[in-house]
């Protein structure tokens, strides 16, 4: 599986955010977006997920499903955790597992139950706790568990390790390595090193600081 | 697909039940509005009985819009809407399911308690039954019209008032036919069936059209 971008341009509110950007992300190796605040890392991830229209260029996915859109083959993990405070961690994950399996041509692979996914992230004991009562780091880990309950080949991660302690960061690095080894594709925007060997970096916005 | 629809309905249902008193708070708001009327109008039982259907309908209209502004805003704020957009379920269907859950948790309780509250307005048994019946037929249209307003104001921080301003004028036809159906038994101008069928038509039309309008608004506002 390979995701290539050709001459991407993105505008928001009449202002150009990214121009003439080309890159290629291959299965098995993570693509890490680097750049200062406001460089357009989150914008690029949201554009890949299909939330923002492209002013020019296109994304081409080789080896994916022809029936589902790029966004429907991707798991987007943004700044927000997409958890409902009134529901327990297990209910949140069970909902996403059912919801994200609705698409066509995706959701294959070995999905884990909410309990297994939480255990993988070291949170088996919070299964029946309301998400509201969890700490920021715990909420983040429950959000990461969403990647496991609804398997999709492409992971779009926006600052995935925010609020995680060192042990949890190591745990998540191992989960990402498993996903890559299974032929998955990861595109991540981050300031902190993710602990992935052989990751390709894509610097963004280096020349735009003075603009 | 069915599994995803059921999961979404169950999630909305659970959230509504667990947050802010759920169904009961709308019913209490309804009760307060109905209780205020005799204080404002004076204890003239004949007058109250005559305008009772109108009072119940206006109170139900306001209570049904209560909480509707959060229909999509909660999901937008916590990032759920992003994930839902890529879930593979058509957004129109998502809107419809969320509206159905909202109707079941906030409008249906109003319908159930309306005969009880109508007693306080000195209404007879038959008008009470007709009010409840007209509310069953009319409230789906209120929810669906409100959903369009909720979708348009999803990204605004204090969108609740704007949503009401957008949606309330559109509910005028529903109100007209709702009250005219409900007051048929207490000496209204029209027979019951004609306005009642118009109400049903409004609800069916809004069920068919509003999901597309709300989904289009959501997609546009998100960009």
| DSSP one-letter string for B81-116 | HHHHHTSSS-HHHHHHHHHHHHIIIIIHHHHHHHHH
Q: Do residues A50 and B86 lie in contact, with contact meaning Cβ atoms separated by under 8 Å?
A: yes
Amino acid A209: pLDDT: 42
pLDDT band at A61 (very low <50, low <70, confident <90, very high): confident
- Asked if the C-beta of A96 comes within 8 angstroms of chain B's C-beta atoms, the answer is yes
Half-sphere exposure of B186 (CA within 13 A, CB side): 25
pLDDT digits (tens, 9 = 90+) for B92-107: 999 999 999 999 988 8
Q: What is the pLDDT of residues B37-69, one digit of tens each?
A: 889 988 888 888 888 888 899 998 988 888 888
Q: Which residue of B8, B77, B85 is in closest CB contact with A51?
A: B85
CA distance A122 to chain B (A): 23
Least trusted range by pLDDT, from A6-15, A104-113, A193-202, B140-149:
A104-113
Please tell me the predicted confidence (pLDDT) of residue B3: 87
What are A97-141's pLDDT values in tens digits?
988 887 654 545 567 888 888 888 888 888 899 998 999 999 999
Top residue of A75, A95, A136 to mutate, by most chain B CBs within 10 Å, is A95
d(CA A78, CA A73): 16
- Give yes or no for A14 touching B (CB within 8 A): no
Other CB atoms within 10 A of residue A29 CB: 15
Residue B197 has pLDDT above 90, yes or no: yes
Residues from chain B contacting residue A84 (CB–CB below 8 Å): 11, 15, 74, 78, 80
Q: CA A145, CA A151: separation in Å to the nearest integer?
A: 10
Instruction: Supply the pLDDT for residue A210.
Output: 40
**Alpha helix stretches (DSSP H) within A112-165:** 114-120, 136-149
Grouping H, G, I as helix, E, B as strand and the rest as coil, residue A138 is: helix
Rounded Cα gap, residues B185 and B124, in angstroms: 9
- Chain mean pLDDT for chain B: 88
B78 contacts on A by Cβ (under 8 Å): 80-84
Contact A96, A81 (CB under 8 A): no
Of the partner residues B10, B77, B87, the one whose CB lies closest to the CB of residue A102 = B87
What pLDDT score does A211 carry? Answer: 37
Nearest to A182 by CA among A123, A119, A110, A128: A110
Shortest Cα distance, chain B CAs vs residue A173, angstroms? 22
How high is the pLDDT of residue B149?
A: 92
The predicted-structure confidence for B139-184, as pLDDT tens digits, reads as follows 999 999 999 999 999 888 777 788 888 899 999 999 999 999 888 8
Taking CA atoms, A37 is separated from A42, A159, A190, A202, in Å, by: 10, 12, 10, 15
Q: Is B88 on the interface with A (CB under 8 A)?
A: yes
CA distances from B170 to A109, B26, B111, B141, B146 (A): 48, 21, 21, 10, 9
């Amino acid at each position: 599986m390979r995701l290539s971008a050709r001459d991407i341009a993105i505008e928001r509110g009449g202002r150009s955010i990214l121009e003439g950007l080309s890159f290629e992300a291959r299965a098995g190796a993570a693509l890490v977006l680097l750049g200062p605040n406001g460089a357009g890392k989150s914008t690029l991830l949201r554009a890949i997920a299909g939330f923002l229209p492209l002013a020019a260029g296109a994304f081409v996915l080789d080896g994916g499903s022809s029936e589902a859109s790029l966004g429907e083959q991707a798991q987007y993990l943004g700044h927000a955790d997409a958890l409902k405070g009134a529901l327990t961690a297990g209910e949140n994950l069970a909902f996403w597992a059912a919801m994200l399996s609705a698409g066509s041509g995706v959701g294959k692979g070995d999905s884990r139950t909410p309990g297994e996914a939480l255990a993988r992230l070291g949170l088996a004991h919070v299964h029946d706790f309301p998400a509201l009562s969890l700490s920021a780091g715990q909420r983040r880990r429950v959000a990461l568990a969403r990647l496991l309950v609804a398997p999709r080949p492409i992971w779009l991660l926006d600052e995935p390790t925010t609020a995680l302690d060192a042990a949890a960061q190591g745990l998540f690095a191992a989960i990402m390595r498993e996903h890559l080894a299974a032929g998955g594709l990861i595109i991540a925007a981050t300031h902190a090193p993710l602990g992935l060997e052989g990751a390709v970096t894509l610097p963004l916005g280096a020349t735009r600081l003075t603009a | 697909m069915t599994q995803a629809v059921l999961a979404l309905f169950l999630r909305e249902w659970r959230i509504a039940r667990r947050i802010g008193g759920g169904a009961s708070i709308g019913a209490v708001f309804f009760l307060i509005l109905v209780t205020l009327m005799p204080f404002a109008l004076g204890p003239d039982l004949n007058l109250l009985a005559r305008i009772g259907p109108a009072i119940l309908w206006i109170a139900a209209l306001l209570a049904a819009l209560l909480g509707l502004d959060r229909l999509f805003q909660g999901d937008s704020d916590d990032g759920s809407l992003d994930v839902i957009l890529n879930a593979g379920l058509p957004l129109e269907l998502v809107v419809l399911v969320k509206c159905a859950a909202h109707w079941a948790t906030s409008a249906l309780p109003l319908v159930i308690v309306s005969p009880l509250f109508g007693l306080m307005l000195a209404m007879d048994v038959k008008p009470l039954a007709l009010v409840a019946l007209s509310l069953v037929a009319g409230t789906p249209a209120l929810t669906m019209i409100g959903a369009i307003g909720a979708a348009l104001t999803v990204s605004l921080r204090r969108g609740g008032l704007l949503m009401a301003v957008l949606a309330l004028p559109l509910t005028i036809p529903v109100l007209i036919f709702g009250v005219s159906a409900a007051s048929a038994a207490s000496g209204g101008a029209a027979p019951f069936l004609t306005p009642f069928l118009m109400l049903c038509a409004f609800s069916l039309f809004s069920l068919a059209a509003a999901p597309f309008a709300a989904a289009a608004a959501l997609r546009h506002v998100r960009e």
